[in-house]
Structure formats: C-alpha cells, structure tokens
Chain A
Amino acid sequence: MYRYDDFDDAFVRTRVAQFRGQVERRIDGSLTEDEFKPLRLMNGLYLQLHAYMLRVAIPYGTLRAEQMRQLGMIAERWDEGYGHFTTRQNIQFNWPKLKDVPDILEALADVEMHAIQTSGNTIRNVTADHFAGAAADEIEDPRPAAELLRQWSTDHPEFQFLPRKFKIAITGSPNDRAVVKAHDIGLRMIRNEAGEPGFEVLVGGGLGRTPMIGKVIRDFLPKEDLLPYCEAIVATYNLLGRRDNKYKARIKITVHENGIDTFRDLVEQKFIETRAAFGGADQELLREIEAAFAPPAFRAVDTAPFEAAREADPVFRAWADTNLAEHKDAGHAIVTISLKKPGATPGDATAEQMRVMADLADKYSYGELRVSHEQNIILPHVAKDDLPALHDALKSVELATANLGLVSDIIACPGMDYCALATARSIPIAQEIAERFEELKLEHEIGELKLKISGCINACGHHHVGHIGILGLDRAGVENYQITLGGDATETAAIGERAGPGFPAEEIVGAIERLVLGYLDVREGPEETFLQAYRRLGPDPFKAALYPDTKDAA
C-alpha cells in the first residue's frame, strides 16, 4: 500500500500547523466566524445540529490496520466512542470540541491521514471500488490511479473555488462497485482492442436535486493521459459551470445544458494544453505508486477446513454465503464486515470494534482494510482456512451479521439526527426497517435488495440508485418519506422513479414491508431479484402493493 513520503508528510503537517493557528485565532477572537468558516471547511470541520463534525478522508477507501486503530483511538479520546463511515469513504466524528480538532488532525497525520478537501467547492476525496486490489474480476488495481488523482487534486491551485463540489470515482473492474456513473467524473477501467488497460471516462453523473447518469466523454483513455484529461475536464467546468444558481452549478447541469458533444469538444481542446504541461513525472510517480500497491504474497491455502466448517455450521455458512466475495487468489476470500446489525446505526463502528477490526486485519488480512460506499468494512485478503476463526472473532463484537446485499444492509445518511441540512431523520427509519425484516425472518429468501435512505434532497444516502429508495422530507412540519423504485448503482445504473405520495414516519416501515412482500408475490422465482422483477413488470404491481387503498396511485 502507498505510504506517505516526506513530501506528503510535510504537506499534511504544514496544514495541521496552519489550522492550529487558525483555531487559536478564532478562539482568541482575531478571526471572525465568516473568516474562519471557509478555513475550517477546507479542513473538513463542519458545524452540525448538536456539535462540530470532523469529516476525515479515507482515500479510495483503503486503510491500514494501524490507521483503523488510530481512528478508534480518536473516537475514544476526543469523541463519544464511535465513528460513522459514510457513502463517500469518509469517516465522520460527531462530537469533537473545537479546541481539540488540531490535536485530532495531528493524530491523523501520525498515520498518514487528513481531513483536507472533505468539504468546499473543490475536488473531494477520490473514491474507488472497495474490493480494489483483491477482486477476481479486476483488470488492474485502480488505487494507484486514485492515489495519483489524490495528489493531483490536493491543493490544486485552480480548483479550490469551483462552481460547486466535485467528486471522482474510479473502478478497476468493468463491474462497477463504485457507482462511477453517479459521479462528476467516473472512471471505469476497460481494455481496448489491443488489450491495453485504460479508462472509459464518464462525466456529469450525480444524484441530489437533479439526479443524472454520467455520460461517456471518452470511450477509451490511455492510462498515461489520466491527469491531463481530468484536468481538462475540471478546467473546462471551472470556466463553463454556472455560478449564478447553486442548484445548477454541478457539472451534470453544465454537461446537460451545453450538450455532451460541445462539452467534449471544449475538453479535447483544453486537453491539448494540459497534456503539454505534463512532462512524464506523473508517470514516473505512478510507477512508484504501483509498486507500493503490489499485492501481498498470498500464502498457499488448503480450502478443506473452510469447506468443512461451512458444511458443519449453519451460522457460519449463512455468513460465508452472504458476506464473502471472490478473490483473485483462489485460496483467499474478500470478507465484508457488516456495520448493519439490525437496530444499529448503518455505518457506525465503536472504538472497540475499530480496534478489533484493526487487529483482525493484522492477523488475517495482511494488515489491510477497505471502507465501502455501502458503509461496511472489508478485509480484502483473508485466507480461506482462517475464515472460521475470523467469524468467531467477529461474532464476539457483534460484527458477524450475515446480511450483505440484503434488505437490512441499508445505506443511510446521518439525517436530521446530526446533519444541519437534513429535512428528516434517516437513522431511525433504517433501524426500524432492519429490525422489522429481522423479525419476519424473510431476508435471505428475499435475496438481493438495495435499500438506500437519504434525509434530504442532497441524496447522501444514494436513494436514487437504490432498488428501493427512501427520501425524508419536511412536509408542513412533519417528517415524511417518499419512495423511489428501480434505481441501480452498478454498471447498469438507473435513477429510481418516484412511486407516489410519501408516508409519514409511522407508516413508512409498513409500506416497505408491503412493497417487499408484494415483490415476493410477483417474482418468477428466488433467482429473480427485486430489481429484475421491477424491470420486467414495471412499477404498477409495486405501486399497487404500496397503495392498496388507492385504485390509481400516481
């Protein structure tokens, strides 16, 4: 894995020192809030409903064990003993005190982490496939390119005051686990006719108020052109993006209003300039980064004990069948640790859990972890003969929930329990739905079902691309939840359609239950997922389940 060199370390330490000075000047009154606010936001410090919130970047979702351990330490020492993993591969601490934040940032710098550019109208944390470097279907590990993008976008002088925030996602596999089509720039690794790896480049995707699927701006971009091409896109957007209306300022609107062909022409024109500015140093650096991301030496594994345990223990079997993914080394598996135990807050981990996960990573996963946009933690390289012991260890800290990809594996933003922008709560809805389906004992029968909840129109909970999406709104002073159907976050991305009128909080769980039971009634068999059934049948049978008393639910 990539390690900071002296340059990275000096950069981050300097920023910490700057921010420490700024906090001191704020506390002693020589900086006003108006002056301080952009500075704290540049360092990931928000002010929310009940407290400050510090958003820490986990670049491309990759963590070393010692980093996870340090996050646990921070949660315990300066927060309330837990952290919240977000849909953007960040972790949020919800209770820091202003005066402690420089110390927290210092502790992060100690493990090569920071909170820079986790806010503001700039290029945010670059997210990646959470199975990166492990997945069997991967062409190449996307993280070297992501690290290159991290360095390029960090403190980029042109792009700190863009029309609006800017998010880049990258996947090294044609199978998209990083929702690249819902990002300002999406990079999907593919091979060209000559068999060389490169990127399909998408631009102008995004959720929020005006959800859009990204459009292809380049069918195939050679790897070595990544930085100049991205720079051309962002530079073009910086000049062309609207600044008169915050709601029309994202690149998706720029592309939509100008048309992808016009936008592409401008980018290609700019690309001539930007390409000339890169003299190959980036490629040299990329080769060093690639070397740093070389996979560990996977040990030879006898898979017999795993198969035996799977046969013998139904609890282990349920977990293994649900939470494991195929590793590129046949003797290993990718383990997803669910942070979605029914009743728990999606994406939250206690300091103790973080420490245990760090120790387990050291013991069983070559010291590596990943954070998924689905708010779970991944141990990317677990030898199959270690799986039973790992499962036991996870059980002891309530991290062995076997629900990956199932209805209780819900994505939920913090909502109005924390967020100052929220219009309704998300967390209690997620908790209640998960607990309800736990009672019904139907989850495994229902099969793959992506349920995503956002507490406002900004869609941090990705509700538009959930098979079932829930959007919390404020309707005349009451929390109200709107349902969307048929969304898809993968390479076959689709924006969900609104099912009809929203439900008050006390009715939303029942509505979801009717909807899912209705699906069970109409599916062709267990192998037809909710999304497949929706695509085959259209919305009508689902709306009928949602609104049984209404003849023509619109």
Chain B
Amino acid sequence: MSRRFTPKVVTANALLEGDAVWLRADGGWSRDMHDAQLFEEEELANEALRHALAQPDLVVGAYLADAKAGPEGPVPTHFREDFRTRGPSNYHLGKQAEA
C-alpha cells in the first residue's frame, strides 16, 4: 500500500548557524523557503535528498517536508514547517526578524 506522493521540499538546518535552510534548484541552500525547489515527483525528491545528505559540512539533518506552490515560491502545508519559516511565537526572533 503506497500513499500518493505529495509535493516536497528538501530542508535541513545549517551546520554553523543552526537555522532552517531549503535546497534550491541549483543545488545550493537558501534561508528563505520561497527560493526552494518544489519536487512533484518522488524519485526526484529522493535524489535531491541524497544530494543534501551528501553535504554534511554544510547542513545537518536533511529531510523531505511537505509543501505546496505559492505565489512567491513553495510554502509549507504543516504548522511545524510554517514555524520553521518564521521563528518562535513568543519573541520576534529568527527568520521573522530577518525579513
């Protein structure tokens, strides 16, 4: 029984700073999820994840996260991933403060 594949982005935390980063289409990493590449096909997503896992000197704990297309680029579908694009709700810190 296989579940239908839903679109994904590859995300991780930066090794040095520890903050959330997303894999771009050019193979580099962005601190803004809108820059991420959205994978509609499972095989491509898995290949991109392998590419990410092969960069342990840049990022930590890469995984595939659900996402969908938005007007400016991929956006999260789950609240956890949404928090990762912003920061904590009790202080204006993290990505929301950088924007």
Q: Do chains A and B touch in the complex (CB under 8 A)?
A: yes
Query: B56–A417 contact, CB under 8 A?
Result: no
Verify if A139 is at the interface (C-beta below 8 Å from B).
no
Query: B60–A416 contact, CB under 8 A?
Result: no
Q: A33-B56, A51-B17, A417-B88 are in contact. Are A95 and B93 (CB under 8 A)?
A: yes
Query: A478–B79 contact, CB under 8 A?
Result: yes
Which residues from A are CB-within-8-Å of B78? Answer: 477
One of B16, B60, B88, B94 near A27 (C-beta < 8 A):
B16
Distance to closest chain B CB from A45 (angstroms): 10
Q: CB within 8 Å of B: which of A9-33?
A: 26-27, 29, 32-33
B67-99 interface bits toward A, Cβ cutoff 8 Å, 1 = contact, 0 = none: 000000000011110011001111101110000
Q: How far is the CA of A479 from the CA of B84 in the complex (A)?
A: 15
Q: How far is the CA of A34 from the CA of B57 in the complex (A)?
A: 11
Q: How far is the CA of A427 from the CA of B94 in the complex (A)?
A: 16
Q: A427-B89, A477-B78 are in contact. Are A49 and B61 (CB under 8 A)?
A: no
Distance to closest chain B CB from A347 (angstroms): 11
Listed residue (A82, A416, A478, A479) with the most chain B CB atoms within 10 angstroms of its CB: A416
Distance to closest chain B CB from A415 (angstroms): 9
Interface residues on A, range: 20 to 34
Query: B94–A50 contact, CB under 8 A?
Result: yes
Verify if B19 is at the interface (C-beta below 8 Å from A).
yes
Verify if B20 is at the interface (C-beta below 8 Å from A).
yes
Q: How far is the CA of A27 from the CA of B15 in the complex (A)?
A: 8
Q: How far is the CA of A29 from the CA of B56 in the complex (A)?
A: 8
Query: A52–B89 contact, CB under 8 A?
Result: no
Q: A416-B80, A416-B83, A417-B90 are in contact. Are A51 and B15 (CB under 8 A)?
A: no
Query: B19–A477 contact, CB under 8 A?
Result: no
Query: A50–B87 contact, CB under 8 A?
Result: yes
Query: B88–A418 contact, CB under 8 A?
Result: yes
A455-480 interface bits toward B, Cβ cutoff 8 Å, 1 = contact, 0 = none: 00000000000000000001001110
Verify if B46 is at the interface (C-beta below 8 Å from A).
no
Verify if B30 is at the interface (C-beta below 8 Å from A).
no
Q: How far is the CA of A99 from the CA of B16 in the complex (A)?
A: 7
Query: A50–B88 contact, CB under 8 A?
Result: yes
Q: How far is the CA of A377 from the CA of B3 in the complex (A)?
A: 50
Which residues from B are CB-within-8-Å of A34? Answer: 56
Verify if A173 is at the interface (C-beta below 8 Å from B).
no
Verify if A431 is at the interface (C-beta below 8 Å from B).
yes
Nearest A residue to B80 via CB reads A416
Which residues from B are CB-within-8-Å of A474? Answer: 79-80
5 other A-B residue contacts (CB within 8 Å) besides A49-B84, A416-B79, A417-B89? A50-B93, A80-B93, A98-B18, A416-B83, A425-B89
